Structure 1
Amino acid sequence: MVLILQQNIDKVKIVALQDGIFSVDGTKQFVPFNPAVDDIDVRPHGSVFLSVTPFLVEKDNEVIILDTGLGTKNDQGEWKIVENLAKYGHRPEEVTKVIFSHLHKDHIKGLGAFDDNGIFHYTFPNATHYYQGKEMEYAMSKGAPSFDIQTLQALKDRPGNVILDGDGEILPGITYQVTGGHTPFHQAIYLQEGEDKYLFGADEAPMLTQMRNRINAKYDYDGKKAMEWRKKWWENEGEDGWKFLFYHDPKVVIYSKK
């Protein structure tokens, strides 16, 4: 097993930007959990522990974010994703692209926030934002508790978005594929530079335990399809040397079977 927070390649650097660890139950409420001080037994029945971990990708002259997290703030009121970016020498204005796997609130609420006057301020104001158009239609129709309509509308209204339709390529070495297991138009992101290969399966490959075990999860739109994607990735891409980027694993962030 390989457990790392940062991976450097000749032309690519991938960094985990952890937004926090949370206890989540059937109400879809994300309750912050600090393993160092919080009691693991004091939580709602049936809740699970999840990390929320966007990723920073540096490739050539691009600064790319994969999903924007839950919009968690630190003790100073600064967004953690911005704080984490600063640790790696970047300001939000330097981000060139934001790629969304899907539009559940824990993947997009780091997009920005409204001020007291009702004006939405985007976290990454100069970035081009990419998402599946049909995913937006689905998310707007479903709404709470899994989707945040105000944030979705702010994303939809943002000038300069690239609205995707099906599979394709964003840059040489960065491709996307609609997988449709966790949500109907969920997409996986593939990053490749020579022999170094990374798969961001988001909520269809969220944790190491789910990759290792055949789990048909009730929270997936199509649990069987999501399970089949995990099996395929684990047996094919995993054996072929691809490294997995885990969005929700509290312990394992970047993992290689080799």
Structure 2
Amino acid sequence: MESLELQGLTFKWLNGGVTRMDGGAMFGVVPKPLWSRKYEVNDKNQIELRTDPIFFQLDGKNILIESGIGSGKLTDKQKRNYGVTEESSIEDSLKTLGVTPEDIDIILMTHMHFDHACGLTKYEGEKLVPVFPNAEIYTSQTEWDEMRNPNIRSKNTYWKENWESIAHQVKPFSEEVEVLDGVKMIHTGGHSDGHSIIVIERGENKLIHMADLMPTHAHKNPLWVLAYDDYPMTSIYAKEKWIQKAIDEGFWFLFYHDAVYRALKWNEQDEIEKTIDREK
């Protein structure tokens, strides 16, 4: 299990499963000869995308960023379509840390697409129940509203199986919320209308999780946005603002999807200065 250890703060990456999505869709209008230099692609034009939640502890709270792709919820057809060869084993990952799903206090959901939210619920017999029954689940009000009432496009990724049994745990926010001292969720829109990023500034520690505005390190260019983005120009504006600010101020970037890096820092010369690599 990879970890990023900072002054008084440690982040651990849990095993949340893996998808292999179409590279063209993941890089939108960017030509393949360009993006394929920066991120490995297989002969089916698929790129590996992890779905690994990030665990950390702060102020006596056990916190997750995202929830993984879940286990036992996808049909064989869905697994084929999304290139899922490995489902979540979050409980096993937590066990190695001496933590149970019941011990999770807070879950920060940047958005509620299936590859982020499937891990929130599980089947007990034929009934869906919360995986983390004691957690408060934060997501933007805009995201929560669309999750429950998806439009003709978004209904393919907002599933009732992922929200009905955890509705009582959700704490939606408007534009920004400080969940704990120095831990903020900020509504950006772009990838989805309700998409948010996470900014952590605690002591000397500075970190940012751009979520699906920048799902991998190869998406750093503000213009390299996903074909899956509902509002691509909003994504571009948010990336221009936050990526440069984070680099200028020496932030660590945390990743949920990246198959190469768990976290990294760029310097002011646009070079990768420090990394936490994914163990393969």
The alpha-carbon distance between structure 1 residues 184 and 15, as it changes in their structure 2 partners (threshold 3 A), is same
Name whichever of 164-173 and 16-25 sits farther off. 16-25
Amino acid in structure 2 at the alignment position of 1:60:
D
For 1:147 and 1:97, locate their aligned partners in 2 and report how far apart those are by CA, in whole Å: 21
The SS at the match of 2:111 is: coil
Name 2:202's counterpart in structure 1. Answer: 193
Name 1:126's counterpart in structure 2. Answer: 134
The alpha-carbon distance between structure 1 residues 96 and 189, as it changes in their structure 2 partners (threshold 3 A), is same
The CA deviation string for residues 174-229 of structure 1, in whole angstroms up to 9 with x for no partner, is: 11110001000111111121121111111112110101463133211111221232
Q: Is the 8 A contact 2:252 2:265 kept in 1?
A: yes
Amino acid in structure 2 at the alignment position of 1:40:
N
The CA deviation string for residues 222-243 of structure 1, in whole angstroms up to 9 with x for no partner, is: 1122123223223221121111
For 2:244 and 2:87, locate their aligned partners in 1 and report how far apart those are by CA, in whole Å: 41
The CA deviation string for residues 17-67 of structure 1, in whole angstroms up to 9 with x for no partner, is: 2323321249x9xxxxxxxxxx932x3xx5432111211121131110111
Indicate yes or no: 2:98 matched with 1:89.
Answer: yes
Q: Is the 8 A contact 1:12 1:60 kept in 2?
A: no
Indicate yes or no: 2:166 matched with 1:155.
Answer: yes
Name 2:186's counterpart in structure 1. Answer: 177
Name 1:210's counterpart in structure 2. Answer: 219
Q: Is the 8 A contact 2:14 2:90 kept in 1?
A: yes
The alpha-carbon distance between structure 1 residues 215 and 186, as it changes in their structure 2 partners (threshold 3 A), is same
The CA deviation string for residues 54-112 of structure 1, in whole angstroms up to 9 with x for no partner, is: 11121131110111011047xxx994111111222211111111111011001111102
Q: Is the 8 A contact 1:98 1:127 kept in 2?
A: yes
Alignment length (residue pairs)? 235
For 1:80 and 1:160, locate their aligned partners in 2 and report how far apart those are by CA, in whole Å: 22
Q: TM-score, normalised by structure 1?
A: 0.82
Counterpart of 2:4 (choices 7, 10, 14) is: 7
Amino acid in structure 2 at the alignment position of 1:171:
L
For 2:97 and 2:248, locate their aligned partners in 1 and report how far apart those are by CA, in whole Å: 31
Q: How does 1:44-83 map to 2 (within 5 A)?
A: 46-72=45-71, 79-83=88-92
The CA deviation string for residues 115-160 of structure 1, in whole angstroms up to 9 with x for no partner, is: 2242x2211111111122221221232354222222122232xx34
Query: After TM superposition, what 4+ stretches of structure 1 lie above 4 angstroms from structure 2?
Result: none
Q: Is the 8 A contact 1:5 1:254 kept in 2?
A: no
Amino acid in structure 1 at the alignment position of 2:193:
P
Q: Is the 8 A contact 1:17 1:81 kept in 2?
A: yes
What's the C-alpha RMSD, in Å, of the aligned pairs? 2.4
Q: TM-score, normalised by structure 2?
A: 0.76
Indicate yes or no: 2:16 matched with 1:19.
Answer: yes
The SS at the match of 1:88 is: coil
Indicate yes or no: 2:37 matched with 1:40.
Answer: no
Q: Is the 8 A contact 2:11 2:56 kept in 1?
A: yes
Indicate yes or no: 2:141 matched with 1:137.
Answer: no
Name 1:223's counterpart in structure 2. Answer: 232
Indicate yes or no: 2:123 matched with 1:107.
Answer: no
| Runs of at least 5 residues in structure 1 that lack an aligned partner in the other structure | 29-38
The alpha-carbon distance between structure 1 residues 197 and 138, as it changes in their structure 2 partners (threshold 3 A), is same
> Residue 252 of structure 1: CA displacement?
0.9
Percent pairwise identity? 23
Name whichever of 4-13 and 101-110 sits farther off. 4-13
Amino acid in structure 2 at the alignment position of 1:84:
S
For 1:82 and 1:91, locate their aligned partners in 2 and report how far apart those are by CA, in whole Å: 7
Q: Is the 8 A contact 2:69 2:114 kept in 1?
A: yes
For 1:48 and 1:150, locate their aligned partners in 2 and report how far apart those are by CA, in whole Å: 26
Amino acid in structure 2 at the alignment position of 1:257:
W
